[in-house]
Chain A
């Protein structure tokens, strides 16, 4: 069990938590920083000031109430669908790999990939905006032809850790994969 600090591609601190349940079952949790209060305040203030400016010229109170509703709805949508609190990779030797991301509101979305479908776990490069980033991904093999790769499932999609963090996860994943082969 280890809790280490890393940075993501934007330089924010993220923490990687490795739990070894057994020699063939490990769990990696990447926790992103919490929703900062300052950011929320800034956005809310922007919307409300803008609404007040509109209200000042139009003298229509509906603008103010709609601004309040807009910020509330926006916040709910943000924490329910956008803001990911932590992402977990659970790898169980000879059974499969489970990726789950839990959102700030507590909603969890989980996918389980069986070992028979999984070809390998690799670190890949990608062009992202104006720079090149590394990411971990799972290669899914074609059930008809085990040599070809049909699709690629990226891991830690929202937290985007840097290479040093990825290497650590990659090495322990490969250990387990090598055992189960």
Chain B
């Protein structure tokens, strides 16, 4: 078997001493975590290790000895070799460096005292029969901080036993208390590991951690106040509830409340995924606020609000005028088509009356529009998503006439289509059986057939007129829906984009690891194979896929074919999702 020794890079130049680490159970490999320097008392080493072991639940052990050649310490080598009797183990590693060589030699002594391998003498003599050693160098800091994907949390026990590399990563990550001792501590032991030059920490981060707890408690209290306000009876009676569920601002605020509930919960995030979710939501919230403030600073300068208001009313007027012209065109002979004159006139007048109502409504509103816009613009300080949702709502309200036309046209068209389809069945001597949900044959009377045929003819000849109105207003509606859909998509994008994870991927690529990669280091005759283990960072696409915040996406999930079918049959289409309880 090949013996694998995972050796931290930071211990390459450590003083002579003992190797502290763990034998990976089930695999023929050992992870070296730290080096205990020479002046030590074996009893204290054992005591310290058992303390750490009770803290971390990692079965740490003294793996062997480490000797670094130094002047005045010639006798140390033999002393270190004899230590194996004090720390009984099944194998005793003897790593030693020599002056002028980059690699180091390694010997393994079995418990019964036989020298399993002596590379220096035997490497040329015998070939593959001997046991072999691979020294894998790893960067302790990166391995400790990185998270191997797919994420497997410690508490969830899976039937598949973790692979060797995962065990190595877990061992290094779990033995964090071992790395708290640095060279400035006055202890009986001196260790070398990645933090032995001094603990790595940031004062700002620690202060923020301390401050975050009271802030979180306070914000949770505010949030509960808001939720209590939302649970008022008056907000849950049917018409109010229906309207709030359709206004995207209300949907967005509800969504934000759920976000805040996760972020500001005073409980510490236990698992990696929880932590990443919290961080992602928090960072995207901050970015959202920053963008909103940028928008405000742009909007409230140089009197832009009043300019906007002054252009908005003429635009609405202009749209209404254009619609009027369109209707007049439809009431004549549009594109040379000959319509049913009477129906055409009726429909056209009906819609014209609507536009008239609309224009008077706009004119009634026009003095207040600037004031309304001014107050509505302030909502952008809650975030860009709020500003966008309000924009979407304003567009929906300003194009309410288009929506009305669309609904009338669609209903009329739908009625005709259904009438025609059932009469077509009558034509063929069949009928729809509601109980069995199928088409049955049926014998009709002569009168029924006569009336049916007559109605069929009338409906068929009136169909082009209604179809034309339906087509034109559907196209108008589709433009509005498209615009609202784009806004919804961008809001959704801001809400769900995992900014924190992407930032980690760019600035600290080792934090999210997909796996590892090995590089062959120098090979010298007489020293075992040296490999360098590096962290293979997760691909950006899989970062996006894994850490995307799930949203209740507001845009319809219909396929294009389903949408076309709906349009053809005359069912209503909405920019929001109709089935809200689709999750179960």
Q: B580 near A: Cβ within 8 Å?
A: no
B520 touches A25 (CB 8 A): yes
B116 to chain A, nearest CB (A): 16
Q: How far is the CA of A98 from the CA of B529 in the complex (A)?
A: 16
User: Which A residues lie within 8 Å of B516 (CB)?
Assistant: 112
Is the CB of A21 closer than 8 A to any CB of chain B? Answer: yes
Q: A92-B531, A116-B164 are in contact. Are A23 and B127 (CB under 8 A)?
A: yes
Within the complex, the shortest CB–CB distance from B323 to chain A, in Å, comes to 38
- Distance (whole angstroms) from the CB of B182 to the closest CB of chain A: 32
Tell whether A24 pairs with B160 under 8 Å between CB atoms, given A90-B518, A110-B517, A112-B536.
no
Min C-beta distance of A60 to chain B, whole Å: 31
Q: How many whole Å from A105's CB to the nearest CB in chain B?
A: 17
A92 and B134 contacting across the interface, CB-CB below 8 Å = yes
In the assembled complex, the Cα of A11 lies from the Cα of B353 at a distance in Å of 77
Asked if B132 CB lies within 8 Å of chain A CBs, one says: yes
B4 within 8 A of A: yes
Chain A residues within an 8 Å CB radius of B518: 90, 92, 95, 98, 112
User: Which parts of B131-149 form the interface with A (CB within 8 Å)?
Assistant: 132, 134, 136
CB proximity to B under 8 Å, residues A137-163: 143-144
Asked whether A179 lies within 8 Å of B4 as measured between CB atoms, the reply is no
Please state if A180 and B2 are interface contacts (CB–CB under 8 Å). Answer: yes
- The answer on a CB contact under 8 Å between B536 and A22 is no
Q: Per-residue 0/1 for A5-44: is the Cβ within 8 Å of any B Cβ (1 yes, 0 no)?
A: 0000000000000000111110100000000000000000
The minimal Cβ–Cβ distance linking A39 to chain B, given in whole angstroms, is: 30
Residues of B with C-beta under 8 A to A144: 159-160
Query: In the complex, A90→B518 CA distance in Å?
Result: 9
A114 touches B (CB below 8 Å): yes
Closest Cβ–Cβ distance, residue A167 to chain B (whole Å): 22
B128 touches A23 (CB 8 A): yes
- CB interface residues, B 511-530, toward A, < 8 Å: 515-518, 520, 523, 528-529
B134 neighbours in A (Cβ, 8 Å): 25, 92, 94-95
A94 and B523 CA atoms in complex are apart in Å by: 19
Is the Cβ of A114 less than 8 Å from the Cβ of B1? no
Interface string of B303-332 (1 = CB under 8 A from A): 000000000000000000000000000000
* A95 shortest CB reach to chain B, Å: 6
On chain A, the number of residues with a Cβ less than 8 Å from chain B's Cβ atoms is 23
> Count of chain B residues with Cβ under 8 Å from any Cβ of A?
24
Closest to A115 in B: B164
A112 contact set on B, CB distance < 8 A: 515-518, 536
Asked if residues A95 and B163 are in contact (CB atoms below 8 Å), the reply is no
Interface status of A131 (Cβ within 8 A of chain B): no
Residue of B nearest to A98 (CB): B518
B80–chain A nearest beta-carbon distance, Å:
27
**In the assembled complex, B165 has its CB within 8 A of some CB on chain A:** yes
**B195 nearest CB across to chain A (Å):** 27
Task: Tell me whether A24 and B132 are in contact in the complex, defined as CB-CB below 8 angstroms, given that A90-B520, A95-B4, A100-B517 are known contacts.
Answer: yes
The CA of A58 and the CA of B137, in the complex, are separated in Å by: 63
Contact of B4 among A27, A94, A100, A111 (CB under 8 A): A94
Is B28's beta carbon under 8 Å from chain A?
yes
Considering the complex, give the chain B residue whose CB is closest to the CB of A113.
B515
Hey, what's the 0/1 contact readout for A90-113 against B, CB within 8 Å counting as 1?
101111001010000000001110
Using known A-B contacts A110-B536, A111-B515, determine if residue A27 contacts B163 with beta carbons closer than 8 Å: no
Tell me the smallest distance from the CB of A6 to a CB of chain B, in Å.
23
- Whether the Cβ atoms of B2 and A94 lie closer than 8 Å is yes
Please determine whether B523 and A22 come into contact, CB atoms closer than 8 angstroms: yes
Min CB–CB distance B363 → chain A (angstroms): 45
Asked if B132 contacts A23 (CB within 8 A), the reply is: yes
Residues on the B chain within 8 Å of A179, using CB: 128
Chain B residues with CB under 8 Å of A114's CB are 163-165
Please indicate the chain B residues that have their CB under 8 angstroms from the CB of A93 in the complex: 2, 132
Nearest-neighbour CB distance to chain B for A28, whole angstroms, equals 13
Does A78 make an interface contact (CB < 8 A)? no
The 5 closest A-B pairs by CB, nearest first: A94-B2, A110-B517, A143-B160, A22-B529, A112-B515
Task: Tell me the B residues contacting A by CB distance below 8 Å.
Answer: 1-2, 4, 28, 127-128, 132, 134, 136, 159-160, 163-165, 515-518, 520, 523, 528-529, 531, 536
A residues neighboring B (CB under 8 Å) = 21-25, 27, 90, 92-95, 98, 100, 110-112, 114, 116-117, 143-144, 179-180
Taking A24-B2, A92-B529 as given, write out 9 further A-B residue pairs in contact, using a Cβ cutoff of 8 Å, ordered by the A residue number: A24-B132, A24-B529, A90-B518, A92-B531, A100-B517, A112-B515, A112-B536, A116-B164, A180-B2
Q: What are some 25 contacts across the A-B interface (CB < 8 A)?
A: A21-B520, A21-B523, A22-B528, A22-B529, A23-B127, A23-B132, A24-B2, A24-B128, A25-B134, A25-B520, A92-B134, A92-B531, A94-B1, A94-B2, A94-B28, A94-B134, A95-B134, A98-B517, A110-B517, A112-B516, A114-B163, A143-B160, A144-B159, A144-B160, A179-B128
